[in-house]
Amino acid sequence: MSGKSDDLVLVINSGSSSIKYQLLDPESSAIAASGMVDRIGEPNSGIEHHAEGRTVEHHGPIADHTTGLKLVFDMFAETGQDLAGAGVRAVGHRVVHGGEVFYRPTLIDDSVLAAISELSSLAPLHNPANVAGIVSARKLLPDVPQVAVFDTAFFHGLPDAAKTYAIDAKVAAAQGIRKYGFHGTSHEYVAGAVARLLDRDRLEVNQIVFHLGNGASASAIRGGHPIDTTMGLTPLEGLVMGTRPGDLDPGIVPHLMRSAHLDIDQVDELLNRHSGLKGLSGVNDFRELQRLIDAGDDASRLAYEVYIHRLRRYLGAYLIELDRVDAITFTAGVGENSPQVRADALAGLSRFGIEVDPALNTAKSRVARHISTPGSEIAVLVVPTNEELAIARAAHRIVAADG
């Protein structure tokens, strides 16, 4: 195996029908293996496993997460990495919802697992899948410490005015209704990278981060601490996403139930899987959207305009909330790769001290970089996110501290 195996952390990000994984060195960030189990529970499940310069595939039905992970372990063995025998240092699990309970990476025992499971009422599409991943990994690697890293943790300390929804306070308290925020691991990782790029202390930097992937969110961070973020009780709120609408008039939900006779599961399905770019244009992938726009498709053009309009609305809000802003940063699939989105999101804002340099913006690069002009008061940056590395480092830290 490349690298000392006991330095490596296995990171598992398990979704409702998929498991993404990486085996990596938290110090050097070198990846020893990675892959994805796809379409769990469907007849055409599959696994793609990359290791030692090779790709190994598996095709055929995979009934559940445990079966998927077991097959992944077999594939590790096939590429010469005996995971069970190799003494991996820790398994780091991405867990979407930590509720009010979890606000830092946490070593998993039976009671932590039960608490994550209980939080499923707040994240019915996510936490059950995370629990399935944890249960499977504990079965397959019973002697390796498992650590949960929560998407909500970074936003735990949001100010009351930002996290409180203006509904009946007793109902909100009874149901745990508040803004929790998600993508926290990415926002925190990127905010740290921004401070390093600016050569400033993280606690001095005021910044806005746009994480634009399939899911999308923005955060306003003052001196290292988030003061606002776009996602809310669930990852549905805020920016327009691949299949999710972001902000909506809440009255739309009862209207759909009364007038279109949708039941609550159908509304959930509509909002989570058939809205956002997909709902407006038929496609959720940004590259396909761009191809359709180039081919003159009006619905796709409108989807793009709604997407940019929403970004700018939050940009304006966060410029005011933060007052002084040192950096605006784009990250994740769209943020890192679409100069068009970055240019349109920040167009015409020189009076606010924001000037994108067209040549820097369109230059191809995979590293953290400036894309603003030297005269831009606010630095505009592109910083590749790396949630797996952040999870691996957090898991490694917890395990090292635990002795």
- In the complex, which residues of this chain contact ligand ADP (CB under 6 A)? 213-215, 242, 285-287, 332-334, 337-338
Q: Which is nearer to ligand ADP, 351 or 366 (CB)?
A: 366
Task: Look up residue 80 and give its two tokens.
Answer: 């010469």
Catalytic residue among 38, 109, 143, 151: 151
How many angstroms separate the CA atoms of 69 and 66, rounded? Answer: 5
Contact 85, 79 (CB under 8 A): no
User: Could you tell me how many residues make up the chain?
Assistant: 403
Tokens for 91, please give them. Answer: 């398994």
Give the pairing type, strands 31-38 and 46-51: antiparallel
* Nearer CB in complex with ligand ADP: 5/229: 229
Angle at 393 between CA 388 and CA 398, to 5 degrees: 125
User: What burial class does residue 137 get, using C-beta atoms within 10 Å of its C-beta: 0-12 exposed, 13-18 middle, 19+ buried?
Assistant: buried
* Helices 264-273, 252-259: inter-axial angle, 10-degree rounding: 130
**220 φ/ψ angles, rounded to the nearest 5 degrees:** -110, 120
Element containing residue 69 per DSSP (H, E): helix 65-78
Token representation of residue 45: 């499940």
The CB-of-235 to ligand ADP minimum distance in angstroms stands at: 10
CB of residue 2 vs ligand ADP: minimum separation in angstroms?
25
Of the candidates 355, 337, 304, 358, which has an alpha carbon nearest to the alpha carbon of residue 210? 337
**Which string of b and e fits 13-51 if b means at least 16 CB within 10 Å?**
bbbebbbbbbbbbbeeeebbbbbbbbebeeeebbbebbb
DSSP string, 146-180: EEEEETTGGGTT--HHHH--SS-HHHHHHHT-S--
Query: CB 30 → ligand ADP: shortest distance, Å?
Result: 21
- Asked about 344 being catalytic, the answer comes back as no
The nearest distance, CB 151 to ligand ADP, in angstroms, is: 12
Considering the complex, state which of residue 141 and residue 212 has its C-beta at the smaller distance from ligand ADP.
212
The least CB distance from residue 403 to ligand ADP, in Å, is 34
CB of 38 to ligand ADP, least distance (A): 13
* Shortest reach from residue 286's CB to ligand ADP, in Å: 3
Query: How far is the C-alpha of 287 from the C-alpha of 79, rounded, in Å?
Result: 33
Catalytic residue set = 151
